[in-house]
Amino acid sequence: MAATSGQRFGTGLIILTILIVVAGFLPWGQIRGAPASPVPLISDAFEGMAITITVWNGSISLGGLDLPNWLTVVAAFAVVGAYWLRELAVLAVPVALMVVIAAYGILHTLFAVTILTLSDEGSPGTGAVLSALFFVGMIVLLIRSRGPVRA
């Protein structure tokens, strides 16, 4: 039995979700610095120190709201779950809602990349960039799953 186009799109979303999880283990960025200390020996001991940020140990702060980076993985699973609920006719989840959830994943990762890029002591990593690209892939699949646009 051949897979339907809906099943192929769903499989593509599953693959992209797996890739987002894998990208979560890659560095999302790095922050370099040393603690300020009046004792030069202590400052020298920590010189060149860096902290690597991943999905699992980092977050972004918007005002007083801290959003853990692992919410991007939750968003990817939410998109896949919603898609299959729709595909299996369990729940009529609008494709637009799935696109909005995937767009959150893009915005979150790009916000993290922007913060790290603009920081004097930070640098973005491959994990965040790849995650954003995989979320773009999700949106492309979701839009294509709706079929051709009719005028």
pLDDT of residue 36: 63
Residue 68 pairs in a beta bridge with 59
| Alpha carbon distance 31, 8 (integer Å) | 40
Over its length of 151 residues, how does the chain's per-residue pLDDT go in tens digits?
666 777 888 899 999 999 999 999 999 999 887 666 666 666 666 667 788 999 999 999 888 899 999 999 999 999 999 999 988 888 888 999 999 999 999 999 999 999 999 988 889 999 999 999 999 999 999 998 875 544 4
In the chain, % helix, strand, coil (3-state, to 5) comes to 60, 15, 30
User: What is residue 114's predicted lDDT score, i.e. its pLDDT?
Assistant: 93
Backbone Cα Rg of the chain? 19
Considering the entire predicted model, what is its pTM? 0.84
| Beta-bridge mates of residue 60 | 67
Give the pLDDT score at 149: 43
pLDDT of the residue at 39: 63
| Backbone dihedral region for residue 31 (phi beyond 0: left; psi -120 to 50: alpha; all else: beta) | beta
| DSSP codes of every residue in 50-76 | EEEE-TTT-EEEETTEEEETTHHHHHH
Length of the chain: 151
- Locate 132 and state its tokens: 């954003």
Residue 17 dihedral angles phi and psi, to the nearest 5°: -65, -45
Q: Are strands 59-62 and 65-68 parallel, antiparallel or unpaired?
A: antiparallel
